[in-house]
Amino acid sequence: MWFTEAWTPNINFQVKIKEHLYSKKTPFQQLEVYDSYELGRFFTLDGIMMANEKDEFIYHEMIIHTPMSINPKIKHVLVIGGGDGGSVRELSKYPTIETIDMVEIDEDVVRACQKYFPITTTGFSDPRVNLMFDDGLKYVKETKKTYDLIIVDSTDPIGPGEGLFTQEFYMNCHRVLSEDGILINQHESPYFEKEKIEMKRAHQKIKSLFKIASVYQAFIPTYPSGHWLFGFASKRYDPVLDFKDTFIHQFGVKTKYYNKEIHTGSFALPNYVKDELENI
Ligand code: SAM
């Protein structure tokens, strides 16, 4: 039995399945959980790989430790999406953080991950975590709170995730961020046409709103092409010049992927990617 994801109409990604553990049509998307021979357990939303036991650490370390190594004064964090809990797990390693608000639209994703992915959901028991089931687009529009860091750990810009790639959403993120604020978003990929178009669109909107708008990369083998990007936007900080390598070590945060060379190196993009981002 195989799980097949069409990366393009001409390229499929396949994973040999040991067991199909769970399936549910939620009010927002189709949720499937599998066990596999080489990736361990993994789950998909609308047929797209979300997270698996073998390489989820790459994405979650890169989306959290990169901004956390820039501003040691980060106290109030908002996570939009992130239903598997991996981002919250990494955030909970910092005692300097005072509150972690997480706004996930689909409660079924959280409950399924709590049952099948204990590896990523450990952070939900942290008393600083306030888990809300709501649309992130609506939350940032209505909240009166101010945040030092916003993590947009979203699906692709289809279905419920579409609103998290709009100008309105980024404008409201800018509004609720403090003067030191940093916005990190799942920024698609430069390789295949579909993700490249979304990467350019997101970058254009974020660049029009933030003083600093950079892009960094990681190698995530189970995402389309394996070349995956994150957006780093800030009102004040440069992600390389303001990098504080020592901060992460103060708390004994252990990482399997992220380190100081990866931090600065991940912002060194290939020329073809820089050209695509500059020629919107
Ligand atoms: N890419 C991550 C990783 O590598 O582990 C996984 C992403 S996480 C599963 C994406 C989450 O965004 C999903 O749980 C989905 O339900 C949530 N989501 C999608 N649209 C949303 C919205 N408008 N507001 C809040 N959460 C949303």
* Domains, the chain: 2-52 (2.30.140.10), 56-278 (3.40.50.150)
Confidence of residue 151 (pLDDT cuts 50, 70, 90): very high
* Paired tokens of 269: 């993009």
Tokens of residue 15, six digits = 């994973």
For ligand 1, residues with CB inside 6 Å are 50-51, 56, 59, 80-84, 86, 103-106, 109, 135-137, 153-155, 160-161, 163-164, 186
Tens digits of residue pLDDT in 18-34: 999 999 999 999 999 99
C-alpha to C-alpha distance for 30 and 4, rounded to whole angstroms: 15
Q: What ligand 1 atom has the least distance to the C-alpha of 84?
A: 9
Q: Give alpha helix (H) positions in the chain.
A: 56-68, 86-91, 107-116, 136-142, 167-176, 193-207, 245-250, 260-265, 271-278
State the chain's mean pLDDT as an integer: 96
**170-206 exposure pattern, b = at least 16 Cβ within 10 A, e = fewer:** bebbbebbbebbbbbbbbbbbbbebbbebbbbbbebb
Give yes or no for residue 247 having a pLDDT over 90.
no
Sheet holding 147-153, edge to edge: 129-133, 99-104, 76-81, 147-153, 177-186, 227-234, 212-219
Q: What's residue 159's pLDDT? A: 87
- pTM value is 0.97
